[in-house]
């Protein structure tokens, strides 16, 4: 596989990129390693050749295309394969019906037929040469007649390569192979036309930077910067979907930095560039923007079961309340009092506007609110009651809160790092010990509602709720009490409240 150190698939200097729409010298030629990658792809997935023979017999072309070819050459192909063909959708349906295990045609209005076969998901799309009105991102679906025309309308040149089946002819009219080797992201035509056709491609550029660690070409960055406001033509649902894919990628910092530097973040996640607080020579404080990106990377390093969107969003946004709460203190200090309270509100507002799921939104908001709770633990004043409250308030978010708190340490002071690490370890050990003794996962009063009503001689209503809350506070403060002690405490409270004689 080519790497950044090997700028061309053959190890020779990479040829100059061709002008969009023209074939460059050597186009279609694979290095030995890449030929092996494609051969292995087709060996593992003989379904591709099998399907190609059906199309060829009927007089049609069929090409493995786009991300499938790119990922095969990068050695990261999944079970989803994309194909393009000169056959029209109704002809595709007729060809695959006797062969496929199942078919779906929800995308047929856009020329796409879905097929399941031998554990693979195949999407077959008729050549397209869409027309855009420049106002929305919805094209007038127009079928094309050539593979090259179809490849021209794709977002990036690394996604505009094709391998025909069953004869395995490689087509690369826009220099995608060279760009793949150099890890560069460029458009087949001009980026201005590409982004005017579909502004979401600017978000995709950031997503591919995060997923593949590719560097956008200077002209792509320039067009993104000039056209950033065009992203407002895209629905928030599609923006949120791209943002989620970016955050769940291996290198989200690269994508987020691109969004911020080009001005796109100002439209899709304005709280992020807002963290770039102006610095004052007399009032120094940590760079909140860079700190947040570092916390994100450190949180990712703590993940145990794959990418966690809740944790990653919380790590990125945990300090978004700081710009609104910054205060310059006498003597050169800077404070951000209650930024976790303001941050919770801002997180909830932004994620709701992006139409993220309700539970995800609330979880990220609550993690933002709780992320400062740990601070002060190291002074040794936390009682068992404080540990119980920490666990109870976090609830099912406790594992993510622990990771967020650990990731939030970005100090370069080695002594402080070690002190915080010791404090984290100590708190987690205490939580484990208390959980084993008291079942902290379900901290509830020692008496349930029925027992409260029976003891106080009342029916369902507000009094039961007040009594239940009193007993829960008592349980958090003292740990398990047992029924007899809980009943005595409840009666004492009820007399003081004038509820019983």
Whether 137 is covered by a domain: the verdict is yes
For residue 371, is it left (φ>0), alpha (ψ between -120 and 50) or beta? alpha
| Domain, as residue range, for 321 | 273-442
Q: Do the beta carbons of residue 126 and residue 88 sit within 8 Å?
A: yes
Torsion of CA 151, 152, 155, 159, to 10 degrees: 30
Confidence (pLDDT) at 1: 38
For 23, counting Cβ atoms within 10 Å of its Cβ (0-12 exposed, 13-18 middle, 19+ buried), the class is middle
Whether 58 is covered by a domain: the verdict is yes
Predicted confidence (pLDDT) per residue in 81-131, tens digit: 999 999 999 999 999 999 999 999 888 888 999 999 998 999 999 998 765
Whether 429 is covered by a domain: the verdict is yes
315 and 412, same structural domain? yes
Altogether, the residues listed in the chain come to a count of 501
Q: Which of 163, 182, 201 is the last residue of a domain?
A: 182
Whether 417 is covered by a domain: the verdict is yes
Confidence (pLDDT) at 261: 97
366 and 489, same structural domain? no
37 and 20, same structural domain? yes
Distance CA 203, CA 242 (A): 7
Q: Which of 182, 212, 239 is the last residue of a domain?
A: 182
176 and 105, same structural domain? yes
464 and 423, same structural domain? no
Residue 82 host element (H or E): strand 80-85
Total number of domains in the chain: 3
470 and 363, same structural domain? no
Q: Which residues of the chain are modeled with pLDDT < 50?
A: 1-28, 280-284
Confidence (pLDDT) at 437: 57
Three-state DSSP at 124 gives strand
Confidence (pLDDT) at 280: 43
Whether 265 is covered by a domain: the verdict is no
Whether 256 is covered by a domain: the verdict is no
Give, as one character, the DSSP assignment of residue 250.
S
453 and 398, same structural domain? no
455 and 419, same structural domain? no
Confidence (pLDDT) at 472: 76
Residue 304 tokens, joined = 């145990």
Whether 218 is covered by a domain: the verdict is no
Confidence (pLDDT) at 281: 42
- Does the pTM exceed 0.85? no
Three-state DSSP at 327 gives strand
> The dihedral of CA 187, 191, 195, 197: what is its sign?
negative
Query: At 42, which CATH number?
Result: 3.30.460.10
Distance CA 28, CA 415 (A): 57
438 and 459, same structural domain? no
123 and 5, same structural domain? yes
Q: Which of 424, 442, 460 is the last residue of a domain?
A: 442
437 and 460, same structural domain? no
Whether 235 is covered by a domain: the verdict is no
360 and 379, same structural domain? yes
């Amino acid at each position: 596989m080519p790497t950044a150190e090997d700028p061309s698939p053959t190890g020779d200097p990479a040829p100059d990129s061709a002008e969009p729409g023209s074939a460059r010298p050597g186009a279609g030629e694979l290095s030995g390693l890449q030929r092996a990658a494609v051969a292995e792809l087709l060996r593992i997935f003989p379904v591709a050749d099998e399907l190609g023979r059906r199309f060829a017999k009927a007089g049609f072309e069929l090409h493995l295309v786009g991300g499938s070819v790119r990922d095969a050459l990068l050695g990261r192909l999944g079970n989803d394969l994309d194909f393009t063909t000169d056959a029209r959708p109704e002809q595709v349906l007729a060809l695959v019906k006797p062969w496929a295990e199942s078919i779906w045609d929800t995308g047929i209005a856009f020329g796409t037929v879905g097929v399941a076969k031998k554990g693979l998901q195949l999407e077959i799309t008729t050549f397209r040469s869409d027309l855009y009105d420049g106002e929305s991102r919805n094209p007038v679906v127009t079928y094309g007649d050539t593979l090259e025309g179809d490849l021209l309308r794709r977002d990036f040149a690394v996604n505009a390569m094709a391998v025909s089946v069953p004869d395995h002819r490689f087509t690369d009219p826009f220099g995608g192979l060279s760009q793949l080797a150099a890890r560069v992201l460029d458009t087949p035509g001009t980026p201005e036309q590409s982004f005017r056709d579909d502004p979401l491609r600017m978000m995709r550029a950031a997503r591919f930077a995060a997923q593949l660690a590719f560097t956008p070409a200077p002209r792509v960055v320039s067009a993104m910067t000039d056209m950033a406001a065009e992203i407002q033509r895209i629905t928030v649902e599609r923006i949120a979907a791209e943002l989620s894919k970016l955050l769940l990628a291996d290198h989200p910092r690269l994508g987020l930095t691109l969004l911020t530097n080009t001005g796109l973040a100002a439209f899709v996640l304005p709280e992020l560039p807002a963290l770039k607080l102006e610095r004052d020579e007399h009032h120094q404080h940590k760079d909140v923007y860079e700190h947040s990106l570092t916390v994100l990377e450190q949180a990712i390093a703590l993940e145990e079961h794959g990418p966690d969107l809740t944790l990653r969003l919380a790590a990125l946004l945990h300090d978004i309340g700081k710009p609104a709460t910054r205060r310059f203190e006498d003597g050169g200090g800077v404070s951000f009092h209650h930024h976790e309270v303001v941050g919770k509100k801002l997180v909830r507002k932004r994620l709701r506007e992006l139409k993220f799921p309700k539970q995800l939104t609330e979880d990220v908001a609550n993690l933002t609110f709780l992320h400062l709770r740990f601070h002060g633990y190291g002074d040794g004043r936390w009682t068992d009651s404080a540990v119980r409250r920490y666990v109870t308030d976090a609830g099912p978010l406790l594992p993510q809160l622990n990771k967020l708190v650990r990731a939030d340490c970005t100090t370069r002071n080695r002594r402080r790092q070690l002190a915080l690490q010791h404090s984290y370890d100590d708190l987690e050990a205490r939580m484990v010990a208390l959980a084993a003794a008291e079942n902290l996962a379900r901290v509830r009063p020692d008496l349930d509602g029925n027992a409260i009503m029976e003891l106080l001689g009342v029916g369902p209503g507000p009094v039961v709720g007040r009594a239940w809350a009193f007993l829960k506070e008592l349980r958090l403060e003292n740990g398990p009490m047992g029924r007899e002690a809980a009943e005595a405490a409840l009666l004492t409270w009820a007399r003081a409240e004038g509820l019983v004689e």
